[in-house]
Amino acid sequence: MDPVGRPALTRVTFVTGRLAEPALRRTLADLAPPFEVHVAVMKITVAALMTVPWLTKFLIVPPDTDLVVLPGLVEGDPALLAEHLGVRVEKGPKDLRELPIFFGRKAKAIEYGAWTIEIVAELNNASKLPMQARVAEAKRFLEAGADYVDVGCTPGRAFPDLADTVRAIRDLGGKVSIDSFDPEEIRTGIAAGATLVLSVNGSNLEVAQEYAGTGVRFVVIPDFGQGLDTLARNIAQLEAWGVAFLIDPIIEPIGFGFMASLERYAEVQRRWPQYRQMMGVGNLTELTAADTTGMHALLIAIAQETGCTAVLTTEVIPWARGAVREIDIARRLMHYAVTQQQLPKHVDDRLVTVKDPRILQYNEAELRALQADVKDPNFRIFADAECITVFNHELFVRGTDIQRIFDALAVDEAGHAFYLGKELQKAKLAMQLGKSYRQEGVLSWGYLTPDEDERREHVDLTMRKRRPAAEPA
């Protein structure tokens, strides 16, 4: 018998789709089971889309198979497939990383949190800000996860305290980059302690030669309005001088060559695999009216797959506020996904902010059963994607219109009314957005979720006033 009570196994077939095959094989290798393993890769991308009737048409297992293990999300009764194959069939876990538990062992701990992409957070138009504001913003960036604070210089505007700004950021413990094409500003920034320069091309390339072998890195870009041919020339010159550099093919805004610019990143990786790239994501996040959490996830995935080791971001427009924190999460998630060949789901949900990754569901029969055990007048509130339910020992109210629900509860006392109004509004928001609601608990907003308030209200309605009212239709 195995540790979970099955007869001793000699050959087990694991069914999967093409997408999950590498992760399944790696998990099985780590498991090192005391039986022969066969992986049946079906002609389907996502294993969860398979059904038992479909598998009866296409699944073939080797002779002497003792057990067939299906992905946990496969629909249908495994007994039907067992009858068809003449072999025992079981559904495995929904997450293949739990296969060790399925076979009575401890699951391998997920090694998570490593990253290879540095975050460069820009102080946009820094010369226009008071010194105190520069330092405060730099401190906020560093605390959010930035590796560099980028001092953004404004072309044509004097920056007399540039060196003082660089030193002030260094005093915070942060690394500094200079964002300027002006050779004098670049020299001033480096002399004060900056170790990264954005950017150089044919217009100012010579300044980089002065810092060959110093450890200062330069971000090299194509000449203005030009393509990869000028980038190749600039790279060759920096190579000849022995200057350290990153390559930035320049990502373009949507509608202005976005897709072509993504292709440049892939082309640079093919032509210069020995060098690393940088991606400035602000051209997408700042110039697209959309929440940035999903955009950052996708952009950092592209950066990870194209060999970028630095990302430049800004937090100027309100919807991009929090970009540094989001990229810090995304770089860890995408590093794990790419290096471990695991889908970036069910690993780290902090970038799911507006909607929830899982929603609690309640049917009316379940809630009626709960009400049967209630002996007091305190209201219990439940919400799911369909409606809101409120009940106590006497009333059972369901609906989607919170005003009608509130009226049906017939509460007059001000404190109780305030409490119920607040909770009903929160429940309505959860229902509209697709979030899980917990009475007196905070809604989940991913990485933005506030800590639970230990002083949260709980109202005892034992002494409440009540007027008669009908349930809403």
Radius of gyration of the chain (CA): 29
Residues 89-115, mean pLDDT to the nearest whole number: 82
**Which is it for strands 36-41 and 11-16: parallel, antiparallel or unpaired?**
parallel
Confidence at residue 30, expressed as pLDDT on a 0 to 100 scale: 87
Mean pLDDT of the chain: 90
Confidence at residue 1, expressed as pLDDT on a 0 to 100 scale: 46
Residues 18-30, mean pLDDT to the nearest whole number: 87
Confidence at residue 109, expressed as pLDDT on a 0 to 100 scale: 62
* pLDDT at 473 exceeding the cut of 50: no
* pLDDT at 453 exceeding the cut of 70: no
Tell me how far apart the alpha carbons of residues 97 and 23 are, in angstroms, rounded to a whole number. 9
- Residue 310 is inside which H or E element, if any? strand 308-313
Cβ distance 47 to 21 under 8 Å?
no
Residue 199, preceding bond cis, omega within 30 degrees?
yes
Q: Which tokens hold the place of 281? A: 């994501």
* pLDDT at 462 exceeding the cut of 80: no
Confidence at residue 396, expressed as pLDDT on a 0 to 100 scale: 96
Confidence at residue 459, expressed as pLDDT on a 0 to 100 scale: 40
- Max CA pair span of the chain: 88
Please determine whether the domains at 11-102 and 118-340 fall in the same fold group of CATH: no
| 123 bridge partner residues | 151
Q: Higher-confidence residue: 115 or 456?
A: 115
* pLDDT at 470 exceeding the cut of 50: no
Confidence at residue 94, expressed as pLDDT on a 0 to 100 scale: 82
Q: Which tokens hold the place of 234? A: 């600039």
Residues 16-34, mean pLDDT to the nearest whole number: 88
Model-level pTM? 0.78
Confidence at residue 23, expressed as pLDDT on a 0 to 100 scale: 85
Please enumerate in sequence order all residues whose Cβ is within 8 A of that of 421, keeping only pairs 6 or more positions apart, or say none.
406
Confidence at residue 362, expressed as pLDDT on a 0 to 100 scale: 82
Cβ distance 187 to 175 under 8 Å?
no
- Count Cβ atoms below 10 Å from residue 144 Cβ, excluding itself: 17
Residue 106 carries which DSSP code? P
Scored b (16 or more CB within 10 A) or e, 179-207 reads bbbbbebbbbbbebebbbbbbbbbebbeb
Confidence at residue 73, expressed as pLDDT on a 0 to 100 scale: 85
Model pLDDT for residues 125-156, shown as the tens digit of each residue? 999 999 999 999 999 999 999 999 999 999 99
Q: Which tokens hold the place of 91? A: 């559904």
Class of domain 118-340: alpha beta
Domain boundaries, the chain: 11-102, 118-340, 352-473
Amino acid at 16: T
3-state helix, strand, coil in the chain (%, to 5): 40, 15, 45
Model pLDDT for residues 209-247, shown as the tens digit of each residue? 999 999 999 999 999 988 899 999 999 999 999 999 999
- Residue 380 is inside which H or E element, if any? strand 380-383
Which band of pLDDT confidence, cut at 50, 70 and 90, is reported for residue 363? Answer: confident
* pLDDT at 4 exceeding the cut of 80: no
Query: In this prediction, what percent of the chain has a pLDDT beyond 90?
Result: 71
Model pLDDT for residues 398-416, shown as the tens digit of each residue? 999 999 999 999 998 999 9
Which band of pLDDT confidence, cut at 50, 70 and 90, is reported for residue 104? Answer: confident
Tell me how far apart the alpha carbons of residues 352 and 221 are, in angstroms, rounded to a whole number. 34
Confidence at residue 108, expressed as pLDDT on a 0 to 100 scale: 62
Site of tokens 């006392």: 413
* pLDDT at 115 exceeding the cut of 50: yes
Q: Which tokens hold the place of 357? A: 């990754």
Q: Higher-confidence residue: 313 or 20?
A: 313
Residue 336 carries which DSSP code? H
Query: In this prediction, what percent of the chain has a pLDDT beyond 70?
Result: 93
Residues 38-58, mean pLDDT to the nearest whole number: 88
Among residues 67, 24, 65, which one has the least CA distance to residue 47?
A: 24
Site of tokens 């007048």: 377
* pLDDT at 339 exceeding the cut of 80: yes
Cβ distance 162 to 345 under 8 Å?
no
Confidence at residue 107, expressed as pLDDT on a 0 to 100 scale: 62
Tell me how far apart the alpha carbons of residues 359 and 432 are, in angstroms, rounded to a whole number. 12
Class of domain 11-102: alpha beta
User: Order of strands, edge to edge, in the sheet holding 88-91?
Assistant: 36-41, 11-16, 67-70, 88-91
Cβ distance 169 to 143 under 8 Å?
no
Using CB atoms within 10 Å of the CB of residue 38, give its burial: 0 to 12 exposed, 13 to 18 middle, 19+ buried: middle
